[in-house]
Amino acid sequence: MSKKYALIIVFISIINLKSQNFSVTDIVELATMKKNVSHHKDIPLLALVNEGFDSTHFTMQGFKVGSFFSNILTFRIQPNQILKLKDIKGIDYMQIARKIDPKLSKTIPDIRADSVYKGFGLNTGYTGKNVIIGITDWGFDYTHPMFYDTSMQHTRILAAWDQFKKSGPAPANYHYGTEYVGETALLNAKSDTANIYDYATHGSHVAGIAGGGGAGTIHKGVAFEANYLMVTFLVDEAAVIDAYLWMKAKADAAKKRLVINMSWGLHHFGTLDGNSLLSRVIDSLSAKGVVFVASGGNNGDVNFHIKKQFNKDTLKSLISFYDYSAHAKMYGQSISAWGEKMNNFSIGFDVYNSNQKLLYKSTWYNTQTLSKYIDTFDVIGLDTVFYNLSMAKAHPLNQKPHARLRIKNKNTSLFIALKSSADAGVVHYWNVTELTNDVGNWGMPFTAFLSNWTVGDNKYGISEPATTKSAITVAAHNAEFKRANGTLTGGTIATFSTNGPTVDGRQKPDVSAPGVSVASSISSFTTNSYTLLQNVKFNGKDYPFARFSGTSMSAPATSGVIALILSANSKLTAAQVKEILIKTARIDKITGVLPDSGSTIWGHGKVNALAAVKMAEQLRLNSSINTNELILYPNPSNHSVQINNFTDSIYQIEIYSALGQLVLKQKVSYNSAINIQTFSNGLYFLKMIGTKTKTFKMDVIN
């Protein structure tokens, strides 16, 4: 009997944590923490409470409350307080907060932000002023000139919360971390402290893309006059929820709109269908005006997913392992699986040698019957394979069967095969690398080791929190730019950009933005390795810039565009902002014609800042206009124009010259661009014929 298995039996005999709707995995983790007397760290927890919850009794138990929002509570306890959990009333569901992993000169014209600054076809230009961009990340350099105003006199960072730093003072109403408010405190602090990623680079790079001032370089961010809030969060769900609410309070006090960027995510926490507690908080805050942007993920070039429709049959597929020598904290592979309601499934693994000879068969474990947490190992010849497994026949948040199998195998001559069976229903599986610090979010392939085995695909790759319904989920493409000879190049989807849809079939991603080889600021305090692009001298110190790729880069580019939108119209709801981005997204020869519902690769197309800001401005200037109004954009225009036609999937357009001559007549699909590259400069009239009919005056300036 394994040590953890013995612990779980002992612990459940002491307290009935299942009465609080804990998962088996959470129970065993709490049991282990309680047994380990050397464990002095706070344990982060989330709870879904009902009307019977007594907050006074809760705080009297000595629990450290973080946030209480939309019937979701974040709190932290010490291991010696675990026994007290059994006495808490009014809780429908409780869980340990899961761990979270996490060139501008070309980006700006690709997303048409340069036209927004110039006010091209707008009432005025916009730069993100009076909007706050919140960055939840790691690796902030508060002294970097990228975050100063364009005169390089003052930082635009309003406040920062380093949740790792213990010196304090913590923010009001919170009990952990250190808060810095105002320029003096931020510049004295210099940077966030070393954390799970040491002194990182990621946060400063992301923040620079969203709103960097350029620091005298060509690498100016999208919304370069926006303000910042920065949170270095404790790599768990409870901490990031606290970060959201801290940011919301700061933005409300400043009376400014807030967009929060999330360039991180994981597959093995949450339900991946928009029902997780984290997603519920994001949806609730979105309803209160906060706009959330999430990176779509970087697993588009990995066949790490399987979707299987069962009919009393069995699936087998080889689990590829990440190289153990490539990461100091490598544990193994995490296989997560979600089924359909009322359809249970079984899971296990087999072991083969390099000659395809079967060496070992594990026990079959079924979601209906397995109620205990398995943490053990099996000896195969002279080798040992460690694994643990948790299952639920009906997860409390979505009632779907779920399994998570983690396997450790350092012997490259052993081949581990996933096996699974069911009578009926669809089951999804993902193969993601697992690190010993509970993060890691890159997929590894499922392959066919033997004939008739199943090969993985690169679909259904969107992870938490990007699966959240209200969040704007961003894919990545190569920025389009002109070569010296005048020809356009780039504009293709990034090979790594994760494909949708979500596991419950919703369209994700929503839009795409540049995310390949993006140049931006990085922390001058970093201990991470990087390839230096250039340094900028400021206050006697060198500040570095580097190029990174990922949807971590395309998300903040989109966050910056949203800051421009909110500068043009601060009254828009978060839902309207998302709708405007989707309806004005740019399609071209590379994207091809996209379905009305969007593409699982491109979403609804490439972010188009000019068209989006123009629509936002028109909504502000004419309060009678709503998002159902027919608007032509951009106008004036050169290469192409579009109509935000919300009512027709296919409609007809007729374009007349100023002399009344018909120069173009064609049918146009929803959200399609109308090519006017061959038109001479001048005034034209475009007539849209559909459920609604409208004639637009159109200026062409090719």
For the segment 545-576, what is each residue's pLDDT rounded down to a tens digit? 999 999 999 999 999 999 999 999 999 999 99
* Phi and psi angles of residue 694, each rounded to the nearest 5 degrees, phi first: -150, 145
Strand-pair partners of 623: none
For residue 224, which of 341, 324, 347, 133 has the smallest C-alpha distance? 133
Say how far apart CA 560 and CA 555 lie, in whole Å. 9
d(CA 369, CA 175): 41
Angle in degrees, CA 635, 636, 637, rounded to 5 = 90
The predicted pLDDT at position 280 comes to: 93
Written as one letter, the residue type at 247 is: M
**Rounded to an integer, what distance in angstroms lies between the CA atom of residue 436 and that of residue 330?**
6
pLDDT of residue 555: 96
Q: How many CB atoms lie within 10 A of CB 489?
A: 11
Domains belonging to the chain, first-starting first, are 3-96 (3.30.70.2980), 104-299+466-583 (3.40.50.200), 305-447 (2.60.120), 629-700 (2.60.40.3080)
- Answering whether pTM is above 0.85, one says no
**Residue in the block written with tokens 């609804």:** 604
- H or E segment at 108? helix 104-110
The beta-strand segments (E) located in 358-414 are 358-361, 365-366, 374-380, 383-392, 402-408
Residue 100 has what pLDDT?
58
Please give the Cα distance from 535 to 522 (Å, whole number).
10
Specify the pLDDT at position 51: 82
Residues of the chain with pLDDT under 50: 1-15, 19, 37-39, 102-103, 624-626
- Per-residue DSSP letters for 484-529? TTS-EE--PBPTTPPP---TT------EEEE-SSEEEE--TT--S-
C-alpha to C-alpha distance for 208 and 146, rounded to whole angstroms = 6
Q: How far apart are CA 587 and CA 675, in angstroms?
A: 11
Question: What pLDDT is stored for residue 196 in this prediction?
Answer: 67
How far is Cα 110 from Cα 553, in angstroms, rounded to an integer?
A: 14
pLDDT digits (tens, 9 = 90+) for 591-625: 998 988 899 999 999 999 999 999 998 888 765 44
Q: What are phi and psi of 528, to 5 degrees?
A: -80, 155
Task: Give the pLDDT score at 396.
Answer: 86
Single out the residue of 524, 480, 518, 525 nearest to residue 639, CA to CA: 480
pLDDT value of residue 223: 96
